[in-house]
Amino acid sequence: MRVIALALAAMAGCGGATSTGSGRERVELGKIPEGVLMREQQPRFSPETLMLASRESAEIWIPLALLSEIEADLVAIRKTYPQLAAFEVPIFMPDMLLVTLKPDAPFADAWKAGRLESGEAELDAALRHFNAVSVRRSYSTTVEVHFAQSLNLERLGPVIEATSPTIEMAFGSSNAIMGPELHRSKAADARTYTFIAGCGVPDGCTDRHTWIVRFAPGGGPTMRETITP
């Protein structure tokens, strides 16, 4: 018996899960929350902002308020610190979900051929709900599902997995990204951005350069810089 945890429904902004009569439960997708990123707003934000916000969002949909806060902070950092103005990080695609299918998935050939409709009602409903726009083969039995806007892929993956017993797993590509790093954390007393250049493993590294930029509530950025041989 395939069971969908109620937590998955909550992550999707849903009210719960109900029985389908087929031995497993169905995720209720509910309404799209207000004040979240949609395709029309996507071009307003930089790739770095979209990446950070997709990681931090507490739900699958990304709040516009969170995106606006991060975008304003990054603009202030680049204006204040020239050494960070041209800092570039590899950007994973927060609008693309990798989906690995089981060998017997009846819609595998359609997806590999670029046809988005799977013929499975729950899966197709979830893809429409989250604005999936295209699908294409990535490698082996894994395909790329592209969405019209960025989403929290870590939370989206389990919801998509739960819609079909022929999906092995669904996940974002962020774990495969290597190179300079950009991280953000937020607490009651500060918003902190950490920029890291240089590899993160000791062997073969010449140095690790770190800039930590902190915003106190109502204040501008302050920076601490370190170089680790």
pLDDT in tens, 184-216: 999 999 999 999 987 655 555 567 889 999 999
Per-residue pLDDT, averaged over 158-182, amounts to: 85
Instruction: Report the C-alpha gap between 149 and 172 in whole angstroms.
Output: 14
pTM: 0.84
Q: Are strands 142-147 and 167-171 parallel, antiparallel or unpaired?
A: unpaired
pLDDT at 14 over 60: no
pLDDT at 12: 44
Phi, psi of 35 (to 5 degrees): 70, 30
Which positions ≥6 away from 8 have C-beta within 8 Å?
17, 27, 158, 159, 162
At 178, the pLDDT band (50, 70, 90 cuts) reads: low
Q: Are 75 and 85 in contact (CB under 8 A)?
A: no
pLDDT in tens, 36-49: 999 999 999 999 99
Instruction: Report the C-alpha gap between 177 and 48 in whole angstroms.
Output: 13
Q: Are strands 132-139 and 25-27 parallel, antiparallel or unpaired?
A: unpaired
Q: Are strands 190-197 and 181-187 parallel, antiparallel or unpaired?
A: antiparallel
Kind and range of the H or E run holding 169 = strand 167-171
Q: How much of the chain exceeds pLDDT 70, in percent? A: 82
Q: Which amino acid is at 191?
A: R
Task: Count Cα atoms within 13 angstroms, Cβ side, for 5.
Answer: 8
Read off the DSSP letter of residue 165: T
pLDDT in tens, 83-120: 999 898 888 889 999 999 999 999 999 999 999 999 99
pLDDT in tens, 115-164: 999 999 999 999 999 999 999 999 899 999 999 999 999 999 999 999 99
Q: Are 161 and 170 in contact (CB under 8 A)?
A: yes
Residues comprising the chain, all counted: 229
pLDDT at 22: 41
